[in-house]
Every structure is written in C-alpha cells, then in structure tokens.
Amino acid sequence: MTVIDDYLAGYDGEHRRLMDQLRALIEQLAPQAEQAMAWGMPTYKVNGNLVHFAAGKRHVGFYPGADGVALVAERADAMGLKRSKGAIQFPLDRPLPVELVTEVVRFRLEQQLAKRR
C-alpha cells in the first residue's frame, strides 16, 4: 500500500469515487510522478509538487497551485466551480471535469519538467 492508499482508505461514497477518479487520471497523465503526502494531502511530485487533492466537507479539493488554477479560471467559473488562487473544488454531486483536470495536470507537468532544463 502507498501513502495515498492509506489516505483513501478513510473515505467511501462520493468522496472516494471522486478521489479514485482523480487519482487514476493524475497517474495516467503523469506516470513518472512520485506519490507522497504533503500538508496532510495526497500529493504527486515531479521536480517538486505537481498537484495535491483532498476531501472537503462537500467537495474534493484539487490543488494545482496558482498557475494551474489561472490556466482554467474562466472555464471553472463558467462551470460553477468554486476556486481560490491555488485550488478548485469539485462538488460531490457532479462528475469529475476530466478535460479540465487533464489540461491542468499536463500544464503543471510541463512546468515541473522545465525545471530540469
């Protein structure tokens, strides 16, 4: 078991469904990412933090940092998603916005890989 498995074991229902989908998508898009826990959240790292996620009271929070949120801010707003400078909330009663997450993870991966250059 990984540290992320341990975190997810504490959840069921819609939280678990959404986090399992989010995890699978991140791992598909960034298979080289290291799994870790940071700030109490499942974290994926490539040359530092790539993205985090965590269960909220009525949502799953996705934490791609300020640049990742800024990339999709207008679309997130149009979709009615709550967001802050570094986080986007995915409500439990809605499907995971796969295209939005895909765009953000790919963008963040490019940013993190550029740090090697």
Three-class SS state of 55: strand
CA distance 77 to 57: 20
DSSP calls for 26-51: HHHH-TTPEEEEETTEEEEESSSEEE
Instruction: Give the global pTM.
Output: 0.96
pLDDT tens by residue, 54-83: 999 999 999 999 999 999 999 999 999 999
Nearest to 102 by CA among 19, 22, 8: 22
- Enter the DSSP assignment of 9: T
Q: How would you write the pLDDT of the chain (117 residues) with one tens digit per residue?
A: 899 999 999 999 999 999 999 999 999 999 999 999 999 999 999 999 999 999 999 999 999 999 999 999 999 999 999 999 999 999 999 999 999 999 999 999 999 999 975
3-state SS, 56-104, equals: CCCEEEEECHHHHHHHHHHHHHHCCCCECCCCEEEECCCCCCHHHHHHH
